[in-house]
Amino acid sequence: MHQPSALAIETSGLVKNFGETRAVAGIDLAVRRGSIYGLLGPNGAGKTTLVRLLATLLRPDAGSARVLGHDIVRAPQEVRQRISLTGQFASIDEDLTGIENLVLLARLLGFGRREARTRTDELITAFDLADAAKRQVKTYSGGMRRRLDIAASIISTPELLFLDEPTTGLDPRSRGQVWEIIRTLVANGLTVLLTTQYLEEADQLADRIAVIDHGRVIAEGTSAELKAQIGRAVLHVRLADPADRAAAERLLAARLGDHPVQGDGDPRALAVQAPDPAEAAAALGAMQAEGIVVTEFSLGQPSLDEVFFALTAHPAAPPESAQAEERQTETVR
């Protein structure tokens, strides 16, 4: 009998290669039970490979991992009994209807014919799929697919749910619905491991976040810790007249120390590190005195976007090379 561990996932030096590509290059992870843990990183960072390793779809080349106390290599069937996987590409059958998908999976899990049907109806209603329940999934919208996919993962309650990019490609409303479902699941005691390319998503949902790049964890902590690690508050200013920009830059640089002032693609927008709110207020006053009209200003923590940029020296939006890498990984598979 194994000791129930306080950790849902524990990995140590986990490595997975695809030919020459090191998809996962030595990852140590500790995920507490009952939490949402976010794996944040661009395309090709190794997030999906890590999830596939933990869900026993792949075998590691080095290192070890225990999921809910069971070794993924030595006791994969024990792991499978306790997890559910919602893959990056919908893990449901396009050719079957919504009802058929859920009944099929319920039967595989051991539900009797009638119980499978009852549970299916319950999930279909709760996930707002009643109108489409008898249509083939290939006719579903992205949001409907995701909802069915998550419903399929909780036919019987797993201890750990893997959600690989659950909201990629969804419209904001569908994204909000999926977030709501995830929050409710975790409130009921589930552990969720979530991968995402969206900084906002990790920020909104995850209790802890591991930032992943090139198969490694480059930063780990709560969203607040990650932001603190990078730095200080930032003053964002928007000018009424872009012609004032040079003057505004000079003034802000002089007032707030030698931090570089950076715009944001928008010629009216300026951002500058402002460790002391009083100094920031004074700088705004000085701008007004100089006749520089400010239409918007805010003082806040850096966004996770800025965090990611600071950690990796490349923006979170996938650069060309990372996408090419991802495609290469796909072919190797």
Q: Binding string to other proteins for residues 53 to 82, with x set by CB under 8 A, is what? A: --xxxxx-----------------x--xx-
141 binds other proteins (CB under 8 A): no
Q: Is the distance from CB of 86 to CB of 161 less than 8 angstroms? A: yes
Among the candidate windows 7-15, 185-193, 194-202, 207-215, which touches other proteins by CB under 8 A? 185-193
Cα gap 333→322, rounded to integer Å: 17
Cα gap 295→248, rounded to integer Å: 13
Calculate the alpha carbon distances from 275 to 87, 190, 216, 257, 310 in Å. 42, 39, 31, 10, 17
Q: Binding string to other proteins for residues 19 to 58, with x set by CB under 8 A, is what? A: ---------------------------------x--xxxx
The residue with tokens 């890590």 is: 50
At 182, which helix (H) or strand (E)? helix 172-187
- Give the shortest CB-34-to-other proteins separation in angstroms: 12
Query: Closest by alpha carbon to 36, among 152, 216, 183, 164?
Result: 183
Q: Is the distance from CB of 3 to CB of 62 less than 8 angstroms? A: no
Cα gap 3→249, rounded to integer Å: 60
DSSP state letter for 136: B
Among the candidate windows 181-189, 199-207, 254-262, 265-273, which touches other proteins by CB under 8 A? 181-189
Q: Is the distance from CB of 136 to CB of 94 less than 8 angstroms? A: yes
14 vs 248 by CB, closer to other proteins? 14
Choose which of 6, 13, 118, 122 interacts with other proteins (CB under 8 A): 122
Coil/strand/helix, residue 316: coil
Choose which of 94, 131, 171, 241 interacts with other proteins (CB under 8 A): 94
Choose which of 13, 19, 189, 300 interacts with other proteins (CB under 8 A): 189
Among the candidate windows 6-14, 103-111, 204-212, 241-249, which touches other proteins by CB under 8 A? 103-111
The residue with tokens 């950690």 is: 311
181 binds other proteins (CB under 8 A): yes
DSSP count for the chain of H helices, then E strands:
12, 13
127 binds other proteins (CB under 8 A): yes
84 vs 223 by CB, closer to other proteins? 84
- Give the shortest CB-20-to-other proteins separation in angstroms: 16
Choose which of 95, 173, 258, 313 interacts with other proteins (CB under 8 A): 95
For other proteins, the binding residues (CB under 8 A) are: 52, 55-59, 77, 80-81, 83-85, 87-96, 100, 104-105, 107-111, 115, 119, 122-123, 125-128, 136, 151-152, 154-157, 180-181, 184-185, 188-189, 333
